[in-house]
Every structure is written in structure tokens, then in C-alpha cells.
Amino acid sequence: MSYHSRRCLRSLPTITAIVSCLLLALPFYASGQEPVTDSVPADTAVVIEAAPPTTVLSSDHKYDDGDQINLSWVPSIDETLKDSKVIGYKIYRAEDGGEFELLAEIPDVDTTNAYADQEVEHGHKYAYYVASVTETGEYASLETMPLEPEREWLDLNKAYLFIMALIISGAVIIYVETAKRGKELFVRKIAGLEAIDDAVGRATEMGRPVLFIPGIHDMDDVQTLAALTILGRVARTIADYDTKIFMPVSRSLVMTAARETIKSSYQAAGRPDAYNDDMVNYVTDEQFGYVAAVDGIMVREKPATVFLLGAFFAESLILAETGNSVGAIQIAGTARPAQLPFFIAACDFTLIGEELFAASAYLSGEPRQLGSLKGQDVGKAIAMVVIIGGVATATLAGAWQMGFAESIHGWLMEVFSTN
């Protein structure tokens, strides 16, 4: 053994001690924390109370404007245990790679394992995770991949609605063309409309005006459109009989449209000179202000005939009763079920719902309008057949559990649903 070798052997205990000290000090140096002790005190031990939910999936909601992402997950396995400590779930979301933030809390663990996030925007990416919640903590699932909600041009959920519209529109076109070729299309009598000529004639004989109230809605209500179509026919008769018409309205656009309608009718009757803009007056948009004014007009002008056609609300009975009190013959019509009873009680003739819309076709006898009415009847015929067939198959599938009936019923429910 050489001199150098012996020196090394003598210094070995010292080197071992230094290395041992360095190794012991290394964790402290590396973490900047207190050295880890061999045992963890029992009161600080991590206790996992519940497993997190698994298989968290995010998917784009189909056929929308890119404003919804659907989230689903498999609930925590602990929910199957009797003493489950899961009291709910929390959903966290990160937008465009940012920090995760709490999006929603779902307290009902028994029935809910899905969530529709409707606070998203097309052009942004969203990642999610779901955490099981217990009284003392949260246990997070894995994060989903970032997902950008897509926009779709077509809502194919409404494909059957589109097909139905095509069938009815096709029927309308066929009937319109049939009527144009001179074939007579039958439409049954509608009592209220048969009375229009008599009612206007009565006003002429009595030398009193006709009052026409087109409801209190604007031109964006189809009932107002129907009322103005009937107004065209009424104004034509009034022009022929040289009677006075007065029409207070509560919407400026209705005033403009009504003036145009009456003007056209007077021109068609060959009496454009008899037309006057003052036949139609704007009163106010305020519902009961309008009613107060119309009631005043009724008792002062004492019209022989009152038409109440269009969209009516709480004012229906007030107007109809006042018209009745001045002895006017009244023809009313609306598609609002809550107001129809009042008209039926206080008016001489009432157009119920669909009859108001059928009125224009019936009165005019024009091929286009008659074709439209007949096309709508095709839609009603389809509805009647489907209701009978649907109820029959549902009953067979329900009570007798017949397989073919169940299939037909399932298909019908898919077709006759807009959701």
C-alpha cells in the first residue's frame, strides 16, 4: 500500500461524514422548506372521501348558433354506496387556455349527470372538469380537451316541420292554380261573414256610421292582417252603399295600412273622390286610453254597425258591451281564446279563431286566397288522420304492447315534435 493510499484510507470516515451531511441537507436546499420527517402526523393526513366523476365529455350542441356546449359525466362511483358522502358536483371551465373558474354547482346528485353550458361563444375554446363535492372537499376529474362550439346553417331538428310546411305550401299552390283555371272551390258558409252585407246595409238605412275596430296589436300580428283584409271587403261595400265608416286605431302602422286598404276599396268601387283620410284616426297606443276614447265615440256617434276584428285583450267586453248598449249590430272575431267568450256573449256574430283567417278568402273569392284556405284544410286533414292513427297505435302499444304499434308511435312522436 503506498503512502497516498494509506492517507486516503485514514481520511475515509471524514469524507463519509461530509457526504452524509450533504445528502441529508439536499432536500432542504432543493425545496427551500423544512426537512421532511420520517412520519406524518395523523391529524394532517389526506383522506379521500369520494372518487371524482369519470368520463367527462364535452360535445358541441348540434344545429345551433355556436352558443351551447353539452357536458356529461359518469357520476362518482361512491354514489352507488349507501353511505356516499357526495353531496353534489361543481363544474369548472377554462376559456381559451385561461384559468379554470367555477361555472355551475349541481346539488342534485341522484338525477343529474349532464349540463348544458349556454354561456359560450363561437370563436372561443372551452375546457371543463367536474369535481365531486363532499362536506369537506372537492375531488376533480380529468380535464376535457378544449372545444370550440360550431355554428350550423340549418336546424335539422326541424326537418319534419319543414317537410310539413312543404306539403301544405304545395297543396296551397296546387289549389291556387286549380282555382285560377276556373274550377270552383267549395268553402262552407261562415255565419258571421254572411251578415256583413246586411250589417252595412242596416247602417245605410239608418243613416248612421260603421265603426271598425282592428284590435290593439300592430301589423306584426296576423290577426290584425286578417282584420285589414276583411276591412277591404267591408270598405268596398261601404263605398258601394255610400255609408260612413269610422276607424279609430291604436297603432300608427295600422293607421297607415288601414288608410291604404280603404283607399284601394274606394278606388275599386269607382269612388276615389269619396275617400277621406279622416276615416282612420290614430288615438293612442295605451290600451285603456284607447278603450276610453272608443267608448266615447260609440255613445256619441251611435254607429249602426260595429266590427271588432283582430287581437283583443281585457278591453273586449268593455267595447262589446258599449256597442251593445247603443243598439249596434256587432260582428266580432279574434283568435284569442280568453276573449272569445266575451264576444260570443255580447255580439251578434262571432268569428271563432280560424274563421277570422278564413274570412278574407271566403269574402273575396279570389283564387289565391281560396287556394290558401283549401291548402290549410289539407293540413287539417293530415292532422285528423294522424291523431286517429296516433291514438290508436299508442293505445295498442300501451295496453297490448304490440311491437309494430310501438314502432309507428315512436316515429309519429319523432315527427310531431319540434324539439
Which of the residues 119 through 158 are near other proteins (CB under 8 A)?
158
Q: What is the DSSP letter of 347?
A: -
What is the Cβ-side half-sphere exposure of residue 199, based on CA atoms within 13 angstroms? 26
What's the grid cell of residue 150? 360550431
In contact, 304 and 202? CB cutoff 8 Å: yes
- In angstroms, what is the minimal distance from the CB of 245 to other proteins? 20
For residue 395, the minimal CB distance to other proteins (Å) is 5
Q: Rule CB under 8 A: which of 19-58 touch other proteins?
A: none
Closest CA to 258 of 295, 297, 310: 310
Q: Which residues from 269-288 bind other proteins, rule CB under 8 A?
A: 283-286, 288
By CB under 8 A, how many residues form the interface with other proteins? 75
Q: Which one of 44-52, 100-108, 123-131, 370-378 is the stretch in contact with other proteins (CB under 8 A)?
A: 370-378
Stretches 47-55, 96-104, 128-136, 332-340: which one binds other proteins (CB under 8 A)? 332-340
Listed in order, strand segments (DSSP E) in 288-414 are 305-311, 329-334, 349-352
What are the backbone dihedrals phi and psi of residue 319, each rounded to the nearest 5 degrees, phi first?
-70, -45
**How remote is the C-alpha of 378 from its chain's centroid?**
26
Site string for other proteins, 333-362 (x = CB under 8 A): ----xxxxxx-xx------xxxx--x---x
Site for other proteins in 233-272 (CB under 8 A): 253, 256-257, 260
Which residue lies nearer to other proteins by CB, 126 or 266?
A: 266
Cβ atoms of 51 and 132 within 8 Å: the answer is: yes
Give the containing element (helix H, strand E) for 247. Answer: strand 245-249
In the set 74, 293, 324, 364, which binds other proteins (CB under 8 A)?
Answer: 293
CB 283 within 8 A of CB 290: yes
CB of 63 or CB of 241, closer to other proteins: 63
* 363 makes contact with other proteins (CB under 8 A): no
**Region binding other proteins by CB under 8 A among candidate stretches 28-36, 42-50, 294-302, 303-311:** 294-302
| Binding track, positions 191-230, relative to other proteins; x by CB under 8 A | ----------------------------xxxx--x-----
> Alpha-carbon distance 226 to 246, whole Å?
18
Nearest to 307 by CA among 325, 329, 331: 331
